[in-house]
Chains A and B, each alone.
Chain A
């Protein structure tokens, strides 16, 4: 009940912000009868209506994870975002080994297997991507390669 209501309120807020933002769209002299605003306004309006329905008639609550699981999910999220930023400056192999190892550890918390999985996946995928599929990956940080 509560989950759907909260989600409905979030959608309502986003939809209203979307509508407000759509009203700010600059129009051009090259305009057609519909213009750039109408379709986004329609989308925002329909989403707002649907969110009201959800607030009035919510479904049952899903089963949310508990404390420790949230922590695992949070760690995985942080690592994936860090991986996204690290991939370019640090090359493929090191960030991939770390990220794959951490994700593996979050699924099955065994240090040795996770470490091996990370290193194995990183090297294995690098060979496949670089030499079999011919993608232009950089192995190590650019600074090291000079």
Chain B
């Protein structure tokens, strides 16, 4: 059994006391980050990357710490959804629909326990799915040449634009913006400067961490200034938490179905956790039919989306690790981490750095158990953390972002650039232009171009080479379908319903 011996290798890495300690710290920080409105998995992980890097953690430790934060944030998002009717992060939006009504009926504790167990089931099944599927996909990925990789990158952009955004033109602009920024700096093949306009700071190109922290963390500060922090938690109460065994049994089907749906949604490029929880909720609602009390505090309406979003978080790691193509904003951030650590994700990762991959997988399994313990008996601690007011939290986040980037690059130019990205992110989000394609463009731009140029070198400039293999044609077809189909499907599928307003009585 290959998998078992690999897992044994993984656990030998993960059970080292320091790694274990990092996993616990990561879970704790992650749950807080997920629970606090305004800090989600993407910006939470983004501001921690420069810090993890300057602390001199090795690749495995840094990866374990930050993926624990990632999983933790997925658990934590539900806490403020249920108690405050404010999703702690985007994927937790669906949990507000039934979680908040449950809390108003005095069943906040039950909702937290059910969603916590659902998160555990979803994340655990997805991690097991990752163990089984990632090596299989890695074997397929060995057959990818430059033409296939170019088509794959295209697929990531088009599905992200098609599925993940409301307006294709805006997603295309976002992707081009990111790709265009990636071109700045010295050309990899010829060594000639491009778009540097004589500025020495731009010769190395734009550091993707600067862009990510700017677009995620600094932008958030501007949004909070605009709203004057009115989305903060005031007056949260949580009574005694007991385990509602009857509800757990009744919702077990919803959890399993939600996990399956979420896992598949997570693997698809561009779909990610938000879509996973949305589809899981909708599916459960239609299965329950008229017998369900969805929207009025049905426990299944809490279990399904939470299982869905946590399973999607695990599923999204598969394309990121095996192909180097992230399926969501946060996995894009994790890809940035790997690239900073000089680890090239892709099929060779499994052969060259088995201790990194399997150590990571083993840590995820451990992190899940830790998170279940933290999120059920210890949930009250996190409810207390929710009380941190926005006027302390957001300045704190800003300063951490500045220190992180400053200690990483030591240059005021990068700090100004980061603020610039923050301003850009503010206008993009105001205009409803997705920022994830921008990040993906900056991350993948150079590799996309390199693969195109390598393909053309192989074929001696014959462009039909891009469509010469079955895999490439399939990827092109999927890319075009992923971009065009949602235009027609949008008429049939309604957007996810907005959460009811907290003020409403």
Contact surface of A with B, Cβ cutoff 8 Å: 3-4, 7, 11, 15, 18, 21-22, 25-28, 30-34, 36, 39-40, 43-44, 46-47, 49-51, 53-54, 57, 59, 62, 64-65, 69, 72-73, 76-77, 80-81, 83-85, 87-88, 92, 96, 99-101, 103-104, 106-108, 110, 113-114, 117-118, 120-122, 125, 129, 133-137
Contact = CB atoms under 8 A, between A and B. Distances in A.
Contact of B225 (A22, A32, A69): A69
11 contacts: A3-B430, A33-B461, A34-B453, A47-B173, A73-B426, A76-B221, A92-B403, A103-B221, A106-B225, A120-B392, A121-B399
Contacts of A25: 187, 192, 194
A30 B127 CA distance: 46
B402 A59 contact: no
B47 to A, nearest CB: 12
Contacts of B415: 83-84, 87
A47 B396 contact: no
Contact of A62 (B190, B396, B400, B432): B432
B189 A36 contact: yes
Interface residues on B, range: 35 or more
A76 B391 CA distance: 13
B432 A59 contact: yes
A39 B430 contact: no
B192 A103 contact: no
Given A84-B415, A85-B412, A125 B190 contact: no
Nearest to A53: B169
Contacts, number: 192
A76 B205 CA distance: 27
A27 B183 CA distance: 15
Given A46-B176, A101-B395, 12 more contacts: A26-B192, A28-B190, A33-B453, A44-B176, A44-B180, A59-B166, A85-B416, A87-B415, A99-B399, A107-B224, A107-B390, A108-B389
B239 interface: no
A87 B402 CA distance: 9
A81 B422 CA distance: 11
Contact of B452 (A39, A85, A92, A113): A39
Nearest to A84: B415
Interface string B421-459: 011001100111100000000000000110011001100
Contacts of B194: 22, 25, 36, 40
Contacts of A33: 453, 456-457, 460-461
A87 B406 contact: yes
B354 interface: no
B412 A88 contact: yes
Contact of B222 (A27, A40, A73): A73
B456 A136 contact: no
A53 B168 CA distance: 9
A87 B173 contact: no
A3 B419 contact: no
